[in-house]
Amino acid sequence: KLPTGTRVEVTDSVTRQLEQKVFKVLGMDPANKKSNPMVESVITNVAVGAADPNSGDRSTRSELGRIQVSFVEFEKREGHSSAPFLDSIRAAIKGIPGAEISVDKEANGPPTDPPVNIEVASEDFDNLIKTAVNLKNYLDSINTPGVEELKMNIDLKSPEISLTVNRLRAQSEGVNSSQIGGQIRTALFGLETSKIKDGEDEYKIWIRNTEAQRKNLVDLLNLKVGFMDQSSGSYRQVPISSLVDVDYTNTLGSVQRKNQKRTITIRSNVLLSQGYTPTSVNADLTRSIAQFKKVDEGVTIKQTGEGEQQAETGAFLGKALIIALMMILAILVVQFNSVSKAVIILTEIVFSVIGVLIGFSLTGMTISIVMTGVGILGLAGIVIKNGILVIEFADELRGRGMKTREAVIEAGKTRIIPVLLTALAAILALIPLAVGFNINFVTLFADLNPHIFFGGDNAAFWKPLSWTIIFGLTFAFFMTLVLVPAMY
C-alpha cells in the first residue's frame, strides 16, 4: 500500500519491482521461461482487486497492489512446505520507502481478525489519536518477538485539498456557496441534463468534464460560475479561483465505531513459520501493554482478534465440559445407586486430561484451544466406558459373595482385554489423522495409484484433536487398571 492518492502508474511500477523480487525468491524467470515446479501461478493486481480479500473491500484504489502466489497441491511438492518462502519473500521485499508491505498466507474459511488485534477506543477524538499513536510507537520500540509489523487501520496522513469559500468576496460578486459547490460537483461527478428514448429504451444524458480536466486542479479552479449581475442586469462569469481559498492539508481517514465508540485498531500477523504462536505473542503483548502509561482520560485498550475468539471458544468448551460431567454424574448415580462409585469413574476424565498435558509437554506440540478442547470432550465419553467396565464387573463379583479385594483384582484381570481393545481401536483409527496420512481413493481404483503422502493443511487442522485423544486414552488405560481399582 502506497500513500493515498498515488497514481496508478506509480503503484504499478513499485508492484513490478516487488514482483521481480518475488520471482527471484521463487527461483523463477518468466522472460526466460524458467519456472518452479512447486508454484502453480503468480498473479499480480494493481488498483483493481488489490484490496485485502478478508476486509470485504472491493473498491478500486490506485494506491494498492497485490501479488498472489499459488502453490501446487501438497501431494505434488514431494513433502516440501511453502512456509520457508514466506520468510524469504518477507526479507526480500523490505525497504520500499513510503510503502506498507505485508506478507501472509491466505486463510481458508470465513474472514477472521488477525492474530494480533489491539483496539483503542474513546469518544474523545484527540485523546484517541494521541493514545493510539503513542501505543504503536511504544510497542514498535519494544519489538516483541513474533510480531511481523504493527499497523493501524486508519490513515493519519491522507492528503486533502480544501476549498473554503471566501464569503465576503463571493457576496460582493453576488455568488453563493451552493453555486460554487454545484459547479465543482458537476465537473467531477456529472449532472443529468436530459433523457433520450430509443423505442422502449430510455437513456440518461450526463455532462461532466473530461478525465484530464478532473485530475487537474488548475482546470477545476478556472471553471466559471455564472450569475446575473443585479447592478447592471447583465450575465457575468467569474472563475472559482477568485472566490475560494485553497489549502493543501493532511486529514485522517475514516474512523470506525465499535459499541458506539470510536475505535482504532492496531494489528499484525504472527511469524508462524519461525515457530511463534498467536497465544505466546499475545501473552507478551499483554505484559507490555500493562506497562504502557501514556493512556489519556477516557481511552480504553483491549486485545481482541484471534486471541479473543479463542478465549470465547475456550470458555464455551469449558462450560460444555462442566455440563457434560454433571449429566454423566447424574446417569452414573442412577445406574450404580452410589455417589462414590460415580465419582471414582469420573476421575477417569481427570486422568485423561493429565495424560493429554503430559503428552503435549513431552512432545513439544502446540496446543490448539479449539481442537484440543473438542478432543477432551470426546475423551470424556470414551474413558468413562473403561471405568464402568471395571466397576460394574467388580460389583457383580461382590454380589456373588467374593471379597472386595479379590473382586477388584479379578475385575481388572478380566476386563483388561475389553479396555485395551477399546483404547487400541480408537488410537489406531486416529493415527492416520495424527501423522497426516493421505490417500486418494479415486485414483486408487481408477488408476491403481493411491497418491499416498504425509502432511498438508488437513494434518495441521486434525493433528491437535487426534493427539489429544491418543495421549488421553494411553494414560487413562493404565490409570483404569491401577488407580480406579485402588480407589474402589
What is the domain partition of the chain in residue ranges?
A: 1-111, 113-156+252-304, 162-246, 309-487
Cα angle value 185/189/194 (rounded, 5°): 95
- DSSP run (H or E) holding 284: helix 278-290
CA–CA gap between residue 270 and residue 288 (Å, rounded): 16
Q: Does domain 1-111 correspond to CATH entry 3.30.70?
A: yes
Could you check whether 1-111 and 113-156+252-304 share the same CATH topology? yes
Q: How many Å is the maximal CA-CA distance in the chain?
A: 126
CA–CA gap between residue 83 and residue 79 (Å, rounded): 12
Q: Is the dihedral of CA 284, 285, 288, 290 positive or negative?
A: negative
C-alpha cell at 465: 484433536
At residue 135, does pLDDT exceed 90?
yes
Q: For residue range 216-259, what is the model confidence (pLDDT) as tens digits?
A: 889 989 988 887 776 777 788 889 988 999 888 777 767 788 88
Q: Looking at the structure, give the CATH architecture of the domain made up of residues 309-487.
A: Up-down Bundle (1.20)
DSSP SS3 for 104? coil
Per-residue confidence (pLDDT) for residue 255, from 0 to 100: 76
CA–CA gap between residue 11 and residue 13 (Å, rounded): 5
Q: For residue range 424-452, what is the model confidence (pLDDT) as tens digits?
A: 888 898 888 888 777 777 777 888 877 77
Instruction: Indicate the pTM of the whole model.
Output: 0.62
Beta strand extents in 54-96 (DSSP E only): 65-71
Q: For residue range 86-110, what is the model confidence (pLDDT) as tens digits?
A: 888 888 888 778 788 888 777 655 5
Task: Tell me the Ramachandran region of residue 376: left when phi exceeds 0, alpha when psi lies from -120 to 50, beta otherwise.
Answer: alpha
Q: Does domain 162-246 correspond to CATH entry 3.30.2090.10?
A: yes
CA–CA gap between residue 102 and residue 158 (Å, rounded): 20
For residues 405-423, average pLDDT: 84
Short-list 244, 183, 241, CA closest to 208: 183
Per-residue confidence (pLDDT) for residue 57, from 0 to 100: 66
Q: For residue range 2-60, what is the model confidence (pLDDT) as tens digits?
A: 887 788 899 999 999 999 999 988 888 877 778 888 888 889 999 888 887 666 667 78
The residue assigned the cell 461527478 is 189
Assigned CATH topology for domain 113-156+252-304 = Alpha-Beta Plaits (3.30.70)
How far separated are the first and last CA of the chain, in Å rounded? 67
Distant-in-sequence, close-in-space partners of 292: CB < 8 Å, separation ≥ 6 = 134, 135, 138, 301
